[in-house]
Structure formats: C-alpha cells, structure tokens
Amino acid sequence: MTLVDTNVLIDVLAGDAVWADRSTKALIACRARGPLAINETVYAELAAGFAGQAELDETISDMELRLMSMSRAALFLAGQAFRRYRAGGGSRTNVLADFFLGAQASVEEWPLLTRDHRLYRGYFADVALVPVA
C-alpha cells in the first residue's frame, strides 16, 4: 500500500504543465508495486475541486485509489507532530493536513508518494518517501 499526497493527484487531475507527466509516472510505478491509498484529509482536499461527490468518487475509483480511514493512533501522532511544530515556532493554529497524512503513513508503515518532502522528513523521519522525479 502506498499513501498518495494530494499534490500528486492535483498535478494529474489539473494537467499541471510542470508536474502532471512526472506525477502520472510516479503513480503508475507505485501502483505496479501494490495498491494506492488516500485518507479522509486527501479526500476533503480533492473535494474542493469537484462540483459533486459522485464525480469525485468516480474519479477516485478510476484512479484505483482506496480510501483508508485513519486510526486513533495516527490521529494522536498527527496531534503530537503539530504540538512539536507549534513548540518550534510554527504559526498555524490548526493541525496541518500534511500531519494527518504523515502520521497515517508512519503508523501504518506505508510509503508516501509526495512532492513535499521537507515537512515529512522533519516530523516523520521513519516514513519512506517516494519522490516524484
């Protein structure tokens, strides 16, 4: 199972001129190694780009993405990472979406396909990050 970050999916869905081809190839390579997953946070972030839920659900199905719920352990870890972020001078007042994704990848021991490695390396050093090259 590989957890997929929203930025990779938006690259593909929006046809980003710089990233779409690379993100598509990375998704295909990860799918060849096993199932692809998103969590509730990624689902919500993607929903902002769709007029209806049925359209989003169809797109997720077409992309062969599994919606995997976050465990309480992952939710707790996300909160603890956010606590460290605030203690380190972070200015955001709500738990960042990336903390939910990183925590789930950490707890489930899944690799994470993302373009944004900096935050994950800083707060979830145990997560195997799959680059979009």
pLDDT in tens, 2-32: 999 999 999 999 999 999 999 999 999 999 9
Q: Give residue 41's pLDDT band: very low, low, confident or very high (50, 70, 90).
A: very high
Interval 42-85: pLDDT, tens: 999 999 999 999 999 999 999 999 999 999 999 999 999 999 99
Q: Give residue 91's pLDDT band: very low, low, confident or very high (50, 70, 90).
A: confident
Q: Give residue 94's pLDDT band: very low, low, confident or very high (50, 70, 90).
A: confident
**Helices (H), strands (E): how many in the chain?**
7, 5
What tokens does 133 get? 């090259």
Integer Cα distance of 12 and 102 in angstroms: 21
95, pLDDT greater than 90: no
- Give domain limits for the chain: 2-130
- The per-residue pLDDT for 133 is 83
Query: What is the domain class of 2-130 according to CATH?
Result: alpha beta
- The per-residue pLDDT for 115 is 93
Is residue 117 within 8 A of residue 131, CB to CB? The reply is yes
Is residue 3 within 8 A of residue 100, CB to CB? The reply is no
- The per-residue pLDDT for 124 is 97
Q: Give residue 93's pLDDT band: very low, low, confident or very high (50, 70, 90).
A: confident
Q: Sign of dihedral through CA atoms 11, 17, 19, 22?
A: positive
